[in-house]
Structure 1
Amino acid sequence: MAQFDRSDDQVVVVIGSGAAGGTLANSLCQAGIDVVLLESGPMVPAEEFIRDEWAGNELLGWNDRRLATGGWQMEESYPGQPVWHSEVVGGTSVQWLGVSLRMLPEELRARSTYGAIDGASLIDWPVDANELSSYYDRAEAIMAVSGTHGLPHNPMSENTRRIAVGSKAIGYMQFGPNPLAIVRDKHNGRGPSMQDGFSIQGDRARAKWSTAYTEIPAALATGRMDLRPNCRVVSIEADGDRVSAVLYRDANGQMIRQETRFVVVAANSIESPRILLASANSEHPSGLANGSDMVGRCYMRHVMGTLWSVFDEPVHMNRGESMTGLVADELYHNPERGFSGGYYIEQNAISLPAMARVLDPHLWGRDLTYALDHYASMGGMIAVGEDLPQLSNRVTLDTGKLDAFGVPLASIHYDDHPNDSAMRNHAYDAMEAIHRAAGATRCYRSPPFPATHNLGTVRMSSRPEDGVVDSFGIAHEVKNLMVSGGPIFPTSGAANPTLTIVALALRQADHLADRLKRSGR
């Protein structure tokens, strides 16, 4: 592994090692560019992953306190951890379920497709759908997504079969296998999948794609990456329209200043705006790149709801991969349903101990024990739908409450848009109809767990007044600052976001490598 001097102002500093940061950093290294990759979490070998959701999250998750305000259910049920992402080398690519869906072209043109919607801040993406398609191809090949590039899909579980039977019975026509970045057989040193339902906690078999054991080792092998785990970024130094250094605390708590020629912030939709806001100075009094007052705004998390149902026969939803099937009939924009945008219905599964916690916070006594006693006969589904961006849904800093590193805590305000509520209610009805048609005897409509698909807050836009960064994620106001990952999404679409994050990161890396080679800055 390379080790660059702290005064080396020719390195690119990438903050965050997940799907965006790890992918982009590797692409830059492969192009001959020196990279310092800062990750706030430790390096955890796959052999040490814990096959338990809650214990695994303690090991891999970002467990610092956050603040929740607004009308969302997280304020009541998870006030100190209303969102979920990871703090480990590989980021949330270690703790995801592998779903790799493309966004629809019309979802990239939400403002043009849906028109103006009261209370929503809709814009079209400044990225061409045809260009993005070629990067989707590259991302699917890199991640080894099932059903693409000749790779087989994962086997259908009994849990999936129930959805297939029920969806057909109620007239849905678009049930199919979910494209997963989980290899069924050995592939490029990964896998095969153990088909045991334990991949969200970290995949010991490495069948599930993660930058932790794909992109990052490849980047280290080039001799151009200096990987620094356990390093928490505090702020970014800027002079006028250029950044010059990144300040972070290392594993010993020492403040380190790393000079740089370019900074890429790829720290999720909560930490990315938090870093920018915490980097305020006399020239950027509202936060770095925040002259538009858009940093932190338009936070999205997808419209989600889960359904767990009891059947007369065993389902064993803990067997097989967790999300091998989906229904796409409700994906497409059809305002006659009473809302704009659409949603997927995907297979879902969870372990028995976790079920006791997430089934329903208001369920107790015999009703709760009945459900847990029938765990072996339970099947699960989750709706994932488009969440409309609202200016008031935002990440801010609570300057009266500091973390252990002296940075104000992130305060996350979120309220459902009426469109979100209408979509979620429609999805609950659809999911229950599917399971009832497949023989379910009892159904439980569960609220979402802590938000997982964190999107927006540093969105890209054609006009500087509408967002923070341009189509390549470069700040409108700061020439050598890029943001990557979910924060730059102008709208959420309905697709699980990781494939789009990787595709965009590849596009960003191509642009940045070309720029640095041509101009050096």
Structure 2
Amino acid sequence: MTDQARFSLDDDSVVVIVGSGAGGGTLANELAQRGVKCVVLEAGKHYTQADFENDEWAMFNKISWLDKRISAGGWHHTKTYPNLPAWIVKGVGGSTVHWSGVALRFQEHDFHTKTTYGAIQGANVLDWPITLSELEPYYELAEKKMGVCGTKASGLPPMPPNNHYKVIEAGARKVGYKHIVRPAASNSEPYDGRPGCMQIGFCMQGCKIGAKWSTLYTEVPRAQATGNVELRPESMVLQIQHDKQGRANGVLYVDNKGRKQLQKARVVCVAGNSIESPRLLLNSASSMFPNGLANSSGQVGKNYMNHATAAAVSIHKKPVYMYRGFDIAAVVADEVPLNTKRGFVGGYYLEGLAIHLPYTAAFMKPGGWGRDFTSAMEMYDHMSCVWVCGEDLAREQNSITLHPTEKDQYGLPIPIVTKTYHENDEKITAHGLVQWRKVSEAVGATRVIDMPAYPASHNMGTNRMSAKASDGVVNRWGQAHDVKNLFISDGSQFTSSSAANPTLTIVALAIRQAEYIAEALNRREI
């Protein structure tokens, strides 16, 4: 482990950051570079690249957040994945360890869903209190930081096309699609002290060589190297405490030896993901905040979004070998621009996403067997694969709540993840699967098999940004409306989901938030 600063538990001058993923890890480094002292509390272990194995199930079992959770509501997860509503990482670096690397920007209308779509029955849409033009400079900084190849910000050339890319691109062009991209936050050649991608193909098991951007081996060690940051892995946060004025002043956690510790704080930044972050605020209820910390609006834990998703594999006449090379193939972006004439609002990407043989077997027909299944699996090397990633409308009833009786190993109520898709989400995924079938059949696919959606890896909402305190949890800086020195620094601050994978936006917001916090600290406003 990198040599790092050590801060006393009684040091009330530090910024305490909960989580070390795209939001927390980036925020820690950005603050550290500005001279701000931080303690990062990470619930998971500190894995290194030496711990990564090019084996899907081995890494799933090693790094996934497998603490008990309950899938509830009308979504299929209640049957297919009853205790795995979300597929995220518990470890230093968070889900940047296993993310695919797709780095896409939001569009202008994504920040104005209520203005653009109007009120939608059964949905709780709201405009963000920020605009694309405000975020664009931070998108550029994020693309440069992350090494998003094919962007002006990084200057890196696009990732070379593998066979999976070529098959999807050819089909897409035959059906008239024109906007085919591959925005990968993985080095197409050496960049920023990290090697170029060697096309190993196990990107979602942790990049063993470090070509793909992850806070595990970029932001976190750089933050530690400044002497301004202490990382404490295996530190599960239980509660955020506050003083008589309602200001956050300490974070209670269980350390790696099972002891309860209280770290004093000047500022607290929560970046635990869209399940753990609201769970922490709800667990921090007090006489002053009886419904949970920063929850005067009642919106903490509400408006959970995870994208309208679907998946399919296509079987071709000749081998495709989708598993060879970078995990993301062609990304078809033609269905993303604003177009309400298709019978739904929002849009979607068709993302060519390679999965290896074990995951294909597990995801294609969960718990299933039979000739249909085995005859498809025999053709694994002839498969192409898509993940439909579409806008998921905010709904108040889609929520994170605390179980009334069941506790986890830390003594905390386990989270219940309740999700029922809006009919708009179902129309998006149905449209996407039809279009994928057209793309595949245009290049001679003999069979297309629709699969149930995977456990959610894009978790958004639950502590959303809002202009008015009554509509959400945080303001335009991710600062809690109710608690001036409490910030939300992850995807739970998203007001809408867009169709874009969330990581780039989380990083851009973290860079912007760090700038704001550092200036506010200097002015002694927080």
Give the TM bin, normalised by the shorter chain. Answer: over 0.9
Encode CA deviations 1:413-432: one digit per residue, 9 max, x unaligned: 10010101111111110001
SS at match of 2:203: coil
Count matched residues.
520
Contact 2:106 2:132 (C-alpha < 8 Å) held by counterparts: no
1:120 correspondence with 2:137: no
What residue number does 1:477 align with?
482
- TM-score normalized by structure 1? 0.98
- TM-score normalized by structure 2? 0.98
What residue number does 2:203 align with?
199
Contact 2:310 2:433 (C-alpha < 8 Å) held by counterparts: yes
CA distance in 1, matches of 2:194, 2:17: 26
Q: Where do residues 24-39 of structure 1 align in structure 2 (5 Å cutoff)?
A: 24-39=27-42
What residue number does 2:86 align with?
83
SS at match of 1:167: helix
**What is the CA distance between 1:158 and its match in structure 2?**
1.3
Encode CA deviations 1:196-236: one digit per residue, 9 max, x unaligned: 21011100110000111111111111101111000000011
Contact 2:16 2:38 (C-alpha < 8 Å) held by counterparts: yes
SS at match of 1:235: strand
What residue number does 1:41 align with?
44
1:448 counterpart (438, 453, 459)? 453
1:326 correspondence with 2:331: yes
What residue number does 1:376 align with?
381
What residue number does 1:413 align with?
418
Structure 2: runs of 5 or more not aligned: none
CA distance in 2, matches of 1:390, 1:447: 21
SS at match of 1:445: strand
CA distance in 1, matches of 2:102, 2:511: 18
CA distance in 2, matches of 1:364, 1:220: 49
What residue number does 1:336 align with?
341
**What is the CA distance between 1:363 and its match in structure 2?**
4.5
1:302 counterpart (300, 303, 307)? 307
1:391 correspondence with 2:396: yes
**What is the CA distance between 1:165 and its match in structure 2?**
1.2
CA-based RMSD of the aligned residues comes to 1.0
SS at match of 1:308: strand
Contact 1:154 1:324 (C-alpha < 8 Å) held by counterparts: no
**What is the CA distance between 1:238 and its match in structure 2?**
1.5
Contact 2:246 2:288 (C-alpha < 8 Å) held by counterparts: no
Encode CA deviations 1:249-304: one digit per residue, 9 max, x unaligned: 00111000000000000000000000000000111110000111000000000011
CA distance in 2, matches of 1:109, 1:379: 35
CA distance in 2, matches of 1:140, 1:127: 19
1:210 correspondence with 2:214: yes
Encode CA deviations 1:457-491: one digit per residue, 9 max, x unaligned: 00010000100000101100011100011000000
Equivalent AA in structure 2 for residue 269 of structure 1 = S
Of 212-221 and 185-194, more deviation after overlay is shown by 185-194
CA distance in 2, matches of 1:493, 1:477: 27
CA distance in 1, matches of 2:131, 2:380: 46
CA distance in 2, matches of 1:312, 1:128: 47
Encode CA deviations 1:486-518: one digit per residue, 9 max, x unaligned: 000000000001000000000000000000011
Encode CA deviations 1:319-343: one digit per residue, 9 max, x unaligned: 0111131111111222221100100
CA distance in 2, matches of 1:368, 1:189: 44
What residue number does 1:4 align with?
7
Contact 2:458 2:501 (C-alpha < 8 Å) held by counterparts: yes
Contact 1:180 1:324 (C-alpha < 8 Å) held by counterparts: no
SS at match of 1:434: helix
Encode CA deviations 1:110-154: one digit per residue, 9 max, x unaligned: 111111111111111111211200000000000000111320111
What residue number does 2:189 align with?
185
Encode CA deviations 1:169-192: one digit per residue, 9 max, x unaligned: 1122222x3111000221122122
Identity of aligned residues (%): 45
Structure 1: runs of 5 or more not aligned: none
CA distance in 2, matches of 1:82, 1:274: 15
What residue number does 1:164 align with?
169
1:66 correspondence with 2:69: yes
What residue number does 1:270 align with?
275
